[in-house]
Amino acid sequence: MVERDLCQTGIEELDIQLGGGIPTGSTVLMVGSSGSGKTTMCMQFLINGAKKGERGVFFTITEPLFKLTKNMEGFDFYDKELIESGMVNLIDLRIISERLGLDTEKYTVEDASALLDILRDIADELNVKRLVMDSITALCYRLQSKEMIRDFIFKLGSSLAAMKCTTLLTSEIPPRVFQYSQYGIEEFISDGIMFLGDIERKGDLIRTFQLIKMRGANHSRAKSAMSISSKNGIELAPLLRSRE
Ligand SMILES: Nc1ncnc2c1ncn2[C@@H]1O[C@H](COP(=O)(O)OP(=O)(O)OP(=O)(O)O)[C@@H](O)[C@H]1O
Ligand SMILES: [Mg+2]
C-alpha cells in the first residue's frame, strides 16, 4: 500500500479522526452556519502549520483584516509574530480585486481567471503548504453561473494539489440545515468535507463536528462535541449520548 503524505491539523482529536491528518494536497470544505467556528478552525490550522515551519496563506473575502486579527487575538494559539514574519499571510481578496481593477461584487469569466492566476501566483511565490479561502460561498456569489463556480473551484483545487498545498475552503450555510454548500457544487469538487453543527440539549446549544468525507483516508464519521475556548481554541471530544 502506498503511504500518503499527511498534513496534520494540529488539533489533536481531529488528527486522530483523520487517521493522522488531511492527505496532503487535498481541498477540504469546512461547512457551518454563522458563528460555528469555521474561521477559528482555519486559522488554528494555519498557525499550527506555521509553528512546524509550513508557510500558509489566509484569503478573506468576508471580513476586513483588522477585524479578523482582532478576533483571533483573543486566542492563545494566535501568534502575531508568525503573521509578522510572513509564516502566515493574511490577504484581503477585495483589496486584490480592487487593485486588479475588477468589479468587487461581480466577476466575469476573465476576472475569475485573472483572480485565479493571482491566487496561484501568491501561493506559488510564497511557497505555501496550507491555504485557506474564507469563504468560498462569498467568492462563488461573485461568479455568475454554476459553470463558472465549478470551473473556478476545480482549477484552484488542481493547481494547489499540484503544489502539494492543502486547502480549506469555508462554506456558509443557513442555521439548522444539513447541506454542505450554497450552490451544491462545492462539495463534489472538494476532496473532503468537515461539518460544524450544533445540537440542542436541555436548552443548551452544543457545538458538534463531523467528518463527512475525506478521499484517500480511512476516517471516523462519528459526530463529536466541539468546544471553542481562548486557551485551547477548537477542541473535539466524544459526544456523550444522553439516555433520554
Ligand atoms: N476568545 C474566544 N473564546 C471562546 N470562544 C470564542 C472566542 N472568540 C470567539 N469565540 C466563539 O467563536 C464563535 C465565532 O467563531 P468563528 O468566527 O470562527 O465562526 P464562523 O463560523 O467563522 O462564523 P461566520 O460564518 O459568522 O464568519 C463566536 O460566536 C464565539 O462563540
Ligand atoms: Mg468566519
Pocket of ligand 1 from Cβ distances under 6 Å: 32, 34-40, 74-75, 172, 228-230
What's phi and psi for 217, nearest 5 deg?
A: -135, 140
The best mutation among 40, 41, 169 to test binding of ligand 1, ranked by most ligand atoms within 8 Å of the C-beta, falls on 40
Distance between CA 195 and CA 122 in Å, rounded?
A: 28
**Burial of 213 (C-beta count, 10 Å sphere; 0-12/13-18/19+):** middle
In a domain, 105, yes or no: yes
In a domain, 171, yes or no: yes
In a domain, 214, yes or no: yes
Strands 166-172 and 130-134: parallel
Q: Find the domain containing 120 and state its range.
A: 6-238
- Sequential pLDDT tens for the chain (244 residues): 556 799 999 999 999 999 999 999 999 999 999 999 999 999 999 999 999 999 999 999 989 999 999 999 999 999 999 999 999 999 999 999 998 888 878 888 888 888 889 999 999 999 999 999 999 999 989 988 888 988 888 888 888 888 889 999 999 999 888 888 888 888 888 999 999 999 988 888 899 999 999 999 999 999 999 999 999 999 999 987 654 4
Cell of residue 220, nine digits? 471516523
Tell me, what CATH number does 69's domain have? Answer: 3.40.50.300
Count of structural domains, the chain: 1
